Amino acid sequence: MRNGWVKGGSGVMEFAVCYDHSGFDLAWSIFLDVTAFFALMAPLAIARLVEISREDAVAELQAA
């Protein structure tokens, strides 16, 4: 092993893999990413809904 490379018997250089490639880990990672996305976007969506609600209320007052 030299400079992070492992030389195999066939002359092909490969990187050593030091972590598991299980499907459960991938699914858990995707779930956490999606959850984090929604957690970050929820306040923006709520602010937009409040803004729309206020615009509707002002429009009703002006119409009266």
- Could you tell me the pTM of the whole model? 0.51
In a domain, 36, yes or no: yes
Number of domains the chain is built from:
1
Is residue 40 assigned to a domain? Answer: yes
* pLDDT tens readout for residues 16-32: 556 666 888 888 999 99
- pLDDT value of residue 7: 54
Asked if residue 5 is part of any domain, the answer here is no
Tell me if 51 is assigned to some domain.
yes
Q: Which domain holds residue 26?
A: 21-63
What does the pLDDT look like over 23-62, one tens digit per residue?
A: 888 889 999 999 999 999 999 999 999 999 998 888 777 7
In a domain, 49, yes or no: yes
Is residue 54 one of the residues assigned to a domain?
Answer: yes
Of the pLDDT bands very low, low, confident and very high (cuts 50, 70, 90), residue 4 is low
Residues 6+ apart with CB under 8 A from 1: 7
CB-based contacts of 16, cutoff 8 Å, min separation 6: 6
The separation between CA 45 and the C-alpha centre of its own chain, rounded to angstroms, equals 17
Classify residue 28: in a domain, yes or no.
yes
